[in-house]
């Protein structure tokens, strides 16, 4: 084969200097990371599909308890939705600056994205605390169990996304926009926009339909 090397067997008494490669060129498959991350996102889609299906089955089982119309604060949820959607826009600005190799401006947009993500999590934690404080915890009914599981799983993903974002900011500060960091930022962009799409489904399917009689 043209891309292989015919190795020479060293003498028994001569030391081997370093590893011997039989294939020339880069050993990392081209676009292998992005392909693997797309496969991860598809598996995450299956997880959320199961959670949405579970909520669809249990979402009206109130066990003589409060319903979504009694509990949901739509202005608060709308504000929370705006924070997450705005964070997707600011991350898009960061990716544009990455293409222009303006590291400082990109870091600023990433910081704004992280702040918006933390604001989203803060309002979600406040909502959970308020529901539990009035006796509408996940153990109250099947509806609330499905609600806390679905919304809480999404919130956990956002938490991991913020941690990942902070980690990438540190990596860029130390090593700059090397190809590895650029690839990781692209993967984080896909993850962040994926969470926005999931939340649009949560906002529509859980909150807007939940307040209907």
What is this structure's pTM? 0.83
Kindly state the average pLDDT of the residues 147-174.
Answer: 97
Distance of CA 93 to the CA centre of its chain: 18
The answer on pLDDT for 70 being more than 70 is yes
Average pLDDT, the chain: 89
Containing 196, the helix (H) or strand (E) segment is helix 179-202
Count of CB atoms situated within 10 Å of the CB of 166? 14
Cα separation, 187 vs 25, in Å, equals 24
The better pLDDT of the pair 88, 10 is held by 88
Beta bridge partners of 23: 4
Would you place residue 212 in the very low, low, confident or very high pLDDT band (cuts 50, 70, 90)? confident
Cα separation, 6 vs 141, in Å, equals 69
Given a contact cutoff of 8 angstroms between Cβ atoms, the answer to whether 137 and 131 are in contact is: yes
Cα separation, 57 vs 36, in Å, equals 32
The answer on pLDDT for 73 being more than 60 is yes
pLDDT digits over 8-24, tens only?
Answer: 445 555 555 666 656 56
Cα separation, 164 vs 185, in Å, equals 9
């Amino acid at each position: 084969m043209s891309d292989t090397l015919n190795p020479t067997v060293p003498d028994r008494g001569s030391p081997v200097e370093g590893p011997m490669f039989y294939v020339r060129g880069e050993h990392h498959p081209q676009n292998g990371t992005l392909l693997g991350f797309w496969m991860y996102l598809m598996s995450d889609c299956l997880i959320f599909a199961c959670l949405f299906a579970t909520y669809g089955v249990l979402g009206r089982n109130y066990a003589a308890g409060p319903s979504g119309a009694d509990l949901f604060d739509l202005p608060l949820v709308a504000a929370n939705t705006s924070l997450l959607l705005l964070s997707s826009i600011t991350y898009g600005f960061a990716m544009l600056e990455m293409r222009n190799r303006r590291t400082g401006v990109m870091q600023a947009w990433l910081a704004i994205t992280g702040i918006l993500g933390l604001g989203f999590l803060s309002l979600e934690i406040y909502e959970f605390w308020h529901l539990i404080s009035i006796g509408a915890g996940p153990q109250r009914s099947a509806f609330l169990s499905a609600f806390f599981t679905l919304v809480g799983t999404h919130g956990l993903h956002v938490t991991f996304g913020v941690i990942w974002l902070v980690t990438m900011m540190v990596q860029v500060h130390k090593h700059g926009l090397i190809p590895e960091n650029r690839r990781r930022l692209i993967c984080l962009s896909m993850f962040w926009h994926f969470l926005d799409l999931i939340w649009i489904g949560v906002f529509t399917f859980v909150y807007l339909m939940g307040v209907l009689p």
